């Protein structure tokens, strides 16, 4: 699921993000202290639930919730406050919940179980890729089975290239840079590409690659990737980066160094 938390205190936002990450570790949980940014998220994304602090200095949560529901009427608003006198206003807006501070994990979990508007489930990519730390690949929640370690390394290289076409020469140079270029090596490279594609087909994943006579690229729209989310400014992905990126692969060093410049 995707949630949004709006509170003028960053400590409360961070607390809610920790709780939501624990409840739904695979979801996208966005937090902000800026009401304008919150409205922008509502306009641009499908959000499962919005947690709004009632008492905020620039604009109170009741008014912000009204503005959100003008943009998307079936928005699940869950108010957070220390004062019960706001409850009538919350009911007037057909809020999905009302949590009294201090909020705990059980409160949040129950609020998500009793949303007023169920909506359509948020679609997730079939292929999930972990770049931070060791490189790992999952289909659904199951680790991807690669019959060759080089096939997994090749897929990591394509992910690192972010959908850009990779020529055969580029692949050989990055995956077998210490080997002399021979016909045998070229044949091995073609085999690794073929078997990588076959591995995904056996996992019922088709259309993931665009292949030409001289190269191959990955369709990034079919991939849920922490690195890509990081580049898009996703707060959860930013928190997950601890300075490690595809640690088992030498070709990833350049990207790793670029990430560390902003770490």
Count of domains in the chain? 2
d(CA 206, CA 5): 36
Quick check: 155 pLDDT over 80?
yes
Is the same domain home to 168 and 97? no
Is the same domain home to 251 and 133? yes
Length of the chain: 263
What is the overall mean pLDDT for the chain?
Answer: 89
Q: Tell me the pLDDT tens digit for each residue of 124-145.
A: 457 999 999 999 999 977 899 9
Q: Name the DSSP class of 132.
A: B
d(CA 218, CA 211): 9
Is the same domain home to 20 and 58? yes
Is the same domain home to 10 and 96? yes
Domain that holds residue 13: 2-113
Which bin fits 24, alpha (ψ -120 to 50), beta or left (φ > 0)? beta
d(CA 51, CA 49): 7
Q: Tell me the pLDDT tens digit for each residue of 62-110.
A: 899 999 989 988 899 999 987 666 555 555 666 888 888 889 999 999 8
Q: Tell me the pLDDT tens digit for each residue of 196-223.
A: 999 999 998 989 999 888 889 999 999 9
Between 230 and 24, the more confident residue is 230
pLDDT at 33: 95
Quick check: 46 pLDDT over 80?
yes
Confidence of residue 61 (pLDDT cuts 50, 70, 90): confident
Is the same domain home to 74 and 176? no
Q: Single out the residue in 79, 113, 147 at which a domain terminates.
A: 113
Question: Would residue 122 count as lying in a domain?
Answer: no
Average pLDDT (236-252) is 94
Is the same domain home to 132 and 254? yes
pLDDT at 130: 96
Q: Single out the residue in 88, 113, 138 at which a domain terminates.
A: 113
Q: What percent of the chain has pLDDT over 90?
A: 63
Beta bridge partners of 53: 80
pLDDT at 212: 84
d(CA 75, CA 54): 16
Beta bridge partners of 128: 138, 224
Domain of 33: which CATH number? 3.40.50.2300
Is the same domain home to 107 and 21? yes
Q: What is the CA radius of gyration of the chain?
A: 23
């Amino acid at each position: 699921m995707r949630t949004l938390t709006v509170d003028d205190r960053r400590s409360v936002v961070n607390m809610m993000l920790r709780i939501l990450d624990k409840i739904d570790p695979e979801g996208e949980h966005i937090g902000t202290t800026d009401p304008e940014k919150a409205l922008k998220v509502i306009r641009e994304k499908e959000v499962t639930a919005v947690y709004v602090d009632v008492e905020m200095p620039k604009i109170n949560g009741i008014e912000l919730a009204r503005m959100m529901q003008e943009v998307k009427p079936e928005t699940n608003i869950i108010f957070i406050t220390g004062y019960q006198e706001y409850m009538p206003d919350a009911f007037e807006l057909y809020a999905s919940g009302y949590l009294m501070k201090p909020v705990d994990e059980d409160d949040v979990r129950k609020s998500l179980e009793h949303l007023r508007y169920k909506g359509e489930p948020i679609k997730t990519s079939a292929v999930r890729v972990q770049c931070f730390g060791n490189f790992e690949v999952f289909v659904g929640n199951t680790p991807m089975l690669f019959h060759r370690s080089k096939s997994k390394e090749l897929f990591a290289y394509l992910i690192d290239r972010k959908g850009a076409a990779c020529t055969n020469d580029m692949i050989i140079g990055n995956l077998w840079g210490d080997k002399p270029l021979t016909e045998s090596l070229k044949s091995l490279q073609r085999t690794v590409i073929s078997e990588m594609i076959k591995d995904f087909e056996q996992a019922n994943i088709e259309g993931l690659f665009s292949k030409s006579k001289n190269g191959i690229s990955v369709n990034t729209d079919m991939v849920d990737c922490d690195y890509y989310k990081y580049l898009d400014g996703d707060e959860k992905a930013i928190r997950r980066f601890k300075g490690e990126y595809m640690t088992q692969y030498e070709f990833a060093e350049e990207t790793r160094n670029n990430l560390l410049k902003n770490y």
